[in-house]
Structure 1
Amino acid sequence: MKKRSLLEAVAGSANVLLLALLAAVMFFPLYYVLVVSLTDPGEYLLKRIVLFPEDWSFEAYAYLLSTPAFMRSLGNSAFLATAGTLCSLAVSSSLAYALSQPRFLFRRGLLLMILLTILFSPGMIPNYLLVRELGLMNSIWALILPSLANGWTVILMKNFFDNVPAELNEAAAIDGCSAFRTWVSIVLPLSLPALATFGLFFAVGYWNQFFAALLYLNDSEKWPIQVLLQNMLLNASNIDLVTPGQQVEAPPTEMLKMAAIIVAIVPVLVVYPFLQKHFAKGALVGSIKG
């Protein structure tokens, strides 16, 4: 028994050490990006590779947040994430609630159509043609309307609504509530864990919109932050950030790139802890029960 316990202790220690090493390897790129973005420009120009800076500076962030192009792209992404998430939650939850009602006449047919969208994706070219025919080219709504809902999310939400007691709907109907009012006043407040979970998925997806923005947005003033960030990473110069006639001494280009990366990922890192308590509960109830 002692020998077995010793082996278990050694194996446990080895697992902890291995996981700690793996976590350090995965965390190091983020740490390096953050450190470079906060290093004093003079020190960075002297050392180039900085792991433990002597002088800290927010000059790169101050410069980025003072440029119209960067602030405009942040505003575009904020609008995209906010409006897209609200619209997607409204469409997905209303459709899922309708499909969860046994009295809904076209329930089976719609469920079959939704399942087909999960199995067979139309691809990039049909989506592009759809956006063009709808007149959404070069509009930020081209990134929202075609992706308001997806089959997988609707199915999971439906499974969640299936577990709402039918007595609540019956009591609401007796009190004279319409189906819409029942959904808004009773079902949605009881579905906050699921809404928080899927809202996080939607928000992250809209905030990280990149490829669709490259396809549908020709005007650089409508670019979200991810497209502008890609443009910054590919171009050796930061001239795209500065408006004509603006005279500002810019920090080193690499520092601006690192600062832009941090700014692009901070909103997700800030929002996630507030929704974490709902995340596990909403995901499990929506995917297991029913």
Structure 2
Amino acid sequence: MLAQHRNVWAYGAVVGALTVVGLAALFPFYYVVIMSFTAPSAFTTTQLSLFPSEWSLDSYRYLFAVRTFLRSMGISAFLAVVGTLLSLLVTSSLSYGLSRKRTPGRKPLMLAILLTILLSPGIIPPYLVVRELGLINSVWSLILPVLTSGWFVLLMNGFFESLPDSLEEAAVMDGCNEVRAWFSIVLPLSLPAMAAFGLFFAVGYWNTFFSAILYINDFEKWPLQLVLRNLFVEQSALGGGDVAAAMLVGGETIPLEAIKMAAVVCATVPVLLVYPFLQKHFAKGAMVGSVKG
């Protein structure tokens, strides 16, 4: 009986500790959301507030009235949607081809892909390639060089190797060619893997930052993360000058910190909204290639 009580207390202590850690992890985002909805007058007089004394949408009205911010969100959305679709197409087709033992040159290709994981080319070679292709200042420079990676190819290759060859053989016997068997048989069975990898690709494209610094010189083609960086560091990305004094709503100046909080929320919420739709597939697809049998 004493041992049972000790187990209960230990379980309660673990749950309590994890609850505290979870709340500590969630508090910064909660604070950002609350401050983004705080009225400018209350924001300037409050150092730390767990609940705004006066609600306001002025910060969001300012952001969505600035063309620079809306354009950057549109560019990031384009990268996330188009880039994810192209990356899934390239990664899945390459992985599937390498998973078939009859593919010519399969082993040398697998070795070359493995070397891309072990050896990093650095910054200069990719930049020279992008420049020679004429992609400098093009949004395609943020998609084409990172369409896939050796790590994702190897993971998805393990998933396709777990699919029995009899499925494709049966499709071919029924009159399907290689391409139709791929789209009609293999892809529907690959939805969990596609959802998992699609989530990784979408988050990566949405958070595109360093490659934009390297390849995009035109201010009007900056993705959202680069605009946020200038907003936080240089405080000059949204209005062509000091943002703190650039916008008046109802005769009241919006504090720069409130605009920053609203911008962080706008950059975070789209990614959070994607997770619930992919959660049921993500649990299955997260372990792709790890178990065969």
Q: TM-score, normalised by structure 2?
A: 0.93
Q: Does 1:259 align with 2:262?
A: yes
Which stretches in structure 1 are left out of the alignment for 5+ residues? none
State percent identity of aligned pairs. 54
Give distance in 2, aligned partners of 1:123 and 1:9. 53
**How far does residue 186 in structure 1 lie from its aligned partner after superposition?**
1.3
- Whether contact under 8 Å (1:194, 1:286) holds in the other structure is no
**How far does residue 53 in structure 1 lie from its aligned partner after superposition?**
1.1
Q: SS at the partner of 1:241?
A: coil
Q: Does 1:141 align with 2:144?
A: no
- Whether contact under 8 Å (2:137, 2:217) holds in the other structure is yes
Letter in 2 for 1:284: M
**How far does residue 157 in structure 1 lie from its aligned partner after superposition?**
1.0
Residue 275 of structure 2 is aligned with which of 249, 272, 276? 272
Deviations 1:50-102 (A, max 9, x none): 22212111111111011100000000000011111011000000001101111
**How far does residue 49 in structure 1 lie from its aligned partner after superposition?**
2.9
Give distance in 2, aligned partners of 1:167 and 1:12. 48
Give distance in 2, aligned partners of 1:208 and 1:11. 40
Letter in 2 for 1:91: V
Aligned to 1:177: 176
- Whether contact under 8 Å (1:40, 1:55) holds in the other structure is yes
Aligned residues: 285
Deviations 1:155-180 (A, max 9, x none): 11111111222122112212222211
Letter in 1 for 2:38: T
**How far does residue 248 in structure 1 lie from its aligned partner after superposition?**
4.4
Give distance in 2, aligned partners of 1:58 and 1:189. 44
**How far does residue 134 in structure 1 lie from its aligned partner after superposition?**
1.4
1:40-51 equivalent positions in 2, closer than 5 A: 40-51=39-50
Aligned to 2:55: 56
**How far does residue 288 in structure 1 lie from its aligned partner after superposition?**
2.7
Give distance in 2, aligned partners of 1:51 and 1:285. 42
**How far does residue 243 in structure 1 lie from its aligned partner after superposition?**
6.6
- Whether contact under 8 Å (2:95, 2:157) holds in the other structure is yes
**How far does residue 190 in structure 1 lie from its aligned partner after superposition?**
1.1
Give distance in 2, aligned partners of 1:157 and 1:287. 10
Letter in 2 for 1:112: L
Q: Does 1:240 align with 2:237?
A: yes
Aligned to 1:6: 5
Letter in 2 for 1:140: V
Letter in 1 for 2:287: L
Moved more, 254-263 or 153-162: 153-162
Aligned to 1:285: 288
Q: TM-score, normalised by structure 1?
A: 0.94
Compute the RMSD of aligned alpha carbons: 1.5
Letter in 1 for 2:143: I
Letter in 2 for 1:98: G
Give distance in 2, aligned partners of 1:49 and 1:89. 44
Give distance in 2, aligned partners of 1:67 and 1:158. 45
Give distance in 1, aligned partners of 2:218 and 2:173. 54
Q: SS at the partner of 2:52?
A: coil
**How far does residue 109 in structure 1 lie from its aligned partner after superposition?**
1.1
Deviations 1:100-128 (A, max 9, x none): 11111111111111111111111112111
**How far does residue 242 in structure 1 lie from its aligned partner after superposition?**
2.9
Q: Does 1:227 align with 2:230?
A: no
**How far does residue 289 in structure 1 lie from its aligned partner after superposition?**
2.6
Give distance in 2, aligned partners of 1:144 and 1:96. 19
**How far does residue 153 in structure 1 lie from its aligned partner after superposition?**
0.7
- Whether contact under 8 Å (2:42, 2:54) holds in the other structure is yes
- Whether contact under 8 Å (1:68, 1:243) holds in the other structure is no
